[in-house]
Chains A and B, each alone.
Chain A
Amino acid sequence: MTTTEKIIIESAPMEDTPDTDILMEVKDLTTYFYTEFGIVRAVENVSFNIKQGEFFGLVGESGCGKTVTALSCLKLVRFPGIIEDGEVLFRGTDLLKMRDKDLRKIRGAEISMIFQDPLSSLNPVFTVGEQIAEVLRLHEGLKKDVAQERAILMMKEVGIPLAKERVDDYPHQFSGGMRQRVMIGRALSCNPSLLIADEPTTALDVTIQAQILEIIRQLQKKFGMSVLLITHNLGIIAENCHRVGVMYGGYIIEMASVEIIFKDPRHPYTQALMAAIPRLDLTVDQLQTLPGSVPDLIDPPSGCRFHPRCPYAREKCTDEVPPLESWTPDHNVACHFHEEISNI
């Protein structure tokens, strides 16, 4: 049995129902980038929430605003990016209105983030031990040697063999997978309640991907934290997440539990996505493709941003932006005609 199979069997996302307490709620988040070429409307009116202990996935193609959404949540968008509007309520307090000083206490301690490229997200001039210990010293005020001990424990936790010997090694002496483990250890060292994982496995090969996700899942269960997983890989979503938000052109266009997204998608884009997945149980000559390309966010299409590529598009789609409506209590869709589409 390979690791991947094991994960699929073990995961069964809906079995352990997460706590219903809402940990973080994002409301109408809007982030624009003011570039020389025009205003890039990267994120528009994005709303979603993450419950306690939940694995929430954000999926979408590149450039649809996933990463900017995550960065906006931590107020990490840098100029020319500006958070125009919205609220990010973390345990009831708005992160976007916090002072920088208070926000720094939350970053890393309460909300941590790991990045896509483990090769460049560790500082080459410090040992991995120092880098994990730094977070502990910063947030928990630990002394150097105590922090170093904790760093070794954390490295063991994320499955780095010979942690005691390797704690004084530099990042370039680690492989990509090991570096990502170090990053995870670094992010989780202060026991945060939310981990934002921004495409944590994109730069890794498939077997390492599975191992890394396994570690994240194990630690998530162990520490009871929530995870916001950003990816463009539907397989990863299927294996790990409880709920999923599908993003397109800066909007969340559909949000539902994993099962619904995969079995009963309502938005034409999600449907097209699902149709484009190669399936083992069907023999097809050619996978379905979606005509057109990703919208230009500087000059986005009017109304629904998907309408130039949508097979069901009508006049209303070019005029009005469809709101993210509740279709069933657990299923939100942003399409004017989702009821009709579902009937087709």
Chain B
Amino acid sequence: MFSSRTQRRKKKLLKKLKKSRTKKASELSGSQLAIAFRRFRKNKAGLLGLMLALIIFLIAFFADSLTTFPPLEPMGLSYDYTPYYLPPGTVEGAIATRDTGHLIYYISPDFPFQDGSFETPDFVLSQRWDVEEGWEFVSLLEGQPVIFGWWAARSTGEGILSQNLSSDENIDLLYTQIVFQVYLDGEEPTTLYVFFTYEDGTYSKTYEFNIDGNNTWVRMNEYFYLYPFNMSIREKIRNPVKISFYKDNNGSDILLDYITLYAGEYFQNEHIFGTNWWGHDLYSKLVKGSQVSLIVSIGAIILSLAIGLPLGLVAGYYRGKTDEIIMRITDIFLTLPFYFVMILVIMVLTDTPDLDNLIIELGITAEIIVVAVLVGLGIFGWMGITRLVRATIFQIREMDYVEAARCLGASNKRIMIIHILPNVLAPLIVVVTFALAVNIVAEAGLAFLGFTDASLSSWGRELEDGVRIVSVAWWPVLFPALFIITAVMSFNLLGDGLRDAFDPRLR
């Protein structure tokens, strides 16, 4: 009995030894990076971080197909609108426009509709519209009324939506957005009247827009509903809608350049994380928002690297006066308070009317603030990289292999890029991973303070929205916070794992 026990122990030990020996033999081969990766594979926390980070990246990459509701918020809904937030798990129907990026309005049992009537449509689309099919531009002649609607679209091919709508039975043209530019030729400020009428004259509605005469070009987004919700398709077909534009109430004409109309479709889905204060699906907004958060933080790091890496290389390699100058610039940047400068920059950006015009003319829509945040984070994030690279190069350039390369006729540029740079890479990877987490938090922080784009959602922005109603609803705060925490934690774990893998002292 005794001997069998020792035998078993011996076997166990031998097995262990065999395992460890093979491991060591394999650990010796390959480059520094290969060894580091092999070490990293054993680090469970690091692997978890990598997995979470990958999941977050995948979510951001496939955000468009992962969203269950159109994540962007409707604009111009100031009338007949009351805030509501639905708890997680609520099923809701919605109308998506043909441009999947744009949602017209949700239909829900407690939809604050004036006549209060609602009926679940008996048709549900199996697929959504492609974005490519989204915009329709139709130029209008002066004074000519536009007739469009189900009937018009199907039968005649005249009017606006004829091409794409003609074949699809399931289109529900409940709402439409009209974007138009009005050329006023330097006239006084005026009011534009838009009339909606059914062909048979049973329905009519008027909207007014105030146009500032100083701006010759006007961009307007307004949402109109053409039919009441309880109207059947047959009725809709019988009632094409006529839209006419007039300069005043009496029906004098106005020149309209183009008009854009969206067709809507109905679908029904569950709000997995509930909705936010505005009634938007939180899950979809967070998934879509991960794109902004990641693009901003990664873009900022790329910018930081583009600035910090060459500066660090040059400072570390040439030393002396060059180093002195670069390091003092670094110090100056380190003294600037990031948040105050960013707030200042964004306030200037948003308050400059000329800039607004420029943005409109250049066709840049609303992402300017996000770009500003990205650039700001990049410009305030390079100092650490420069310092790290410089310090690492101070060590590396004293190594004999740098001298050897010079002896063998390599130029300064070649030594810097080919011989020194790969040796800086290992610590750099670690720092970049940590910086990623820092940038996500900084972006969220700025978004939380309100410095973000109105039409783009990001995690920080959702959090800010949520905080407003935290006393009545917990989900708009919890889920964005979870996203931020997960992302930051995963990048930190990843960074920790990489640092352990690259640290020669642990080898």
Contact = CB atoms under 8 A, between A and B. Distances in A.
Interface string A304-344: 00000000000000000000000000000000000000000
Contacts of B404: 113-115, 121-122, 183, 186
Interface string B409-429: 111001000110011010000
A170 B409 contact: no
Given A104-B411, A138-B410, A123 B32 contact: no
Contacts of A170: 30-32
B422 A121 contact: no
A174 to B, nearest CB: 11
A121 B409 contact: no
A197 B352 CA distance: 68
A123 B414 CA distance: 13
Contact of B400 (A112, A121, A126): A121
18 contacts: A104-B410, A105-B409, A107-B408, A108-B409, A112-B408, A113-B408, A114-B404, A115-B404, A116-B400, A121-B400, A124-B32, A134-B418, A135-B408, A135-B409, A138-B414, A170-B31, A183-B404, A187-B408
A234 interface: no
> In this complex, which of B320, B407, B418 has the most chain A Cβ atoms within 10 angstroms of its Cβ?
B407
A79 B405 CA distance: 18
Interface in A98-150: 100-101, 104-109, 112-117, 120-127, 134-135, 138-139
Contacts of A105: 409
B406 interface: yes
Nearest to A124: B32
Nearest to B410: A138
A126 B422 CA distance: 9
A274 interface: no
B408 A115 contact: no
A339 B483 CA distance: 90
Given A125-B31, A125-B423, A107 B409 contact: yes
Interface in B346-399: 399
Contact of A121 (B31, B403, B411, B414): B403
A117 B403 CA distance: 12
Nearest to B402: A123
A117 B411 CA distance: 22
A123 B409 contact: no
Given A79-B320, A170-B31, A173-B29, A120 B400 contact: yes
Nearest to B425: A125
A183 B29 CA distance: 20
A117 B409 CA distance: 19
Given A104-B411, A112-B408, A120 B399 contact: yes
Chain A CB within 10 A, most for which of B399, B400, B418: B400
Given A123-B423, A170-B30, A138 B408 contact: yes
A141 B60 CA distance: 45
Contacts of A172: 28
Interface residues of A, number: 36
Contacts of A163: none
B408 A186 contact: yes
Given A76-B406, A138-B410, A172-B28, 9 more contacts: A76-B403, A107-B406, A115-B400, A120-B399, A121-B404, A123-B419, A139-B409, A173-B28, A183-B404
**Which 9 A-B residue pairings sit nearest by Cβ, starting from the closest?**
A108-B408, A108-B409, A121-B400, A107-B409, A113-B407, A125-B422, A120-B400, A123-B401, A104-B409
Contacts of B408: 107-108, 112-113, 134-135, 138, 186-187
Interface of B: 28-33, 320, 399-401, 403-411, 414, 418-419, 422-423, 425
Nearest to B320: A79
Nearest to B31: A170
Contacts of B320: 79
A213 interface: no
A191 to B, nearest CB: 13
B401 A122 contact: yes
Which of A106, A138, A173 counts the most chain B CB atoms within 10 A? Answer: A138
B409 A115 contact: no
A276 B421 CA distance: 47
Nearest to B319: A79
Contact of B407 (A108, A116, A125): A108
A122 B400 CA distance: 7
Nearest to A127: B31
Nearest to A186: B408
A122 B30 CA distance: 15
Nearest to B28: A173
A74 interface: yes
Nearest to B33: A125
Contacts of A139: 409
Nearest to B414: A138
Nearest to B404: A121
A193 B400 CA distance: 23
Nearest to B418: A134
B168 to A, nearest CB: 57
A139 B409 CA distance: 8
A107 B408 CA distance: 5
Contacts of B407: 74, 76, 107-108, 112-113, 187
Which of the listed residues A120, A183, A187 has the most CB atoms from chain B within 10 Å of its own CB?
Answer: A120
A83 to B, nearest CB: 15
A170 B35 CA distance: 11
Interface string A286-299: 00000000000000
Given A104-B411, A170-B30, A173-B28, A121 B401 contact: yes
A121 to B, nearest CB: 4
Contacts of B33: 125
Contacts of A76: 403, 406-407
A63 B421 CA distance: 32
Interface string A68-107: 0000001010010000000000000000000011001111
Contacts of B29: 169, 173
Nearest to B405: A123
Given A104-B409, A125-B422, A117 B400 contact: yes
A100, A121, A127, A139, most chain B CB atoms within 10 A: A121
Interface centre among A112, A123, A173 (most CB of B within 10 A): A123
A124 B409 contact: no
Contacts of A186: 404, 408
A59 B465 CA distance: 78
Contacts of B403: 76, 115, 121
A18 to B, nearest CB: 24
A1 B403 CA distance: 38
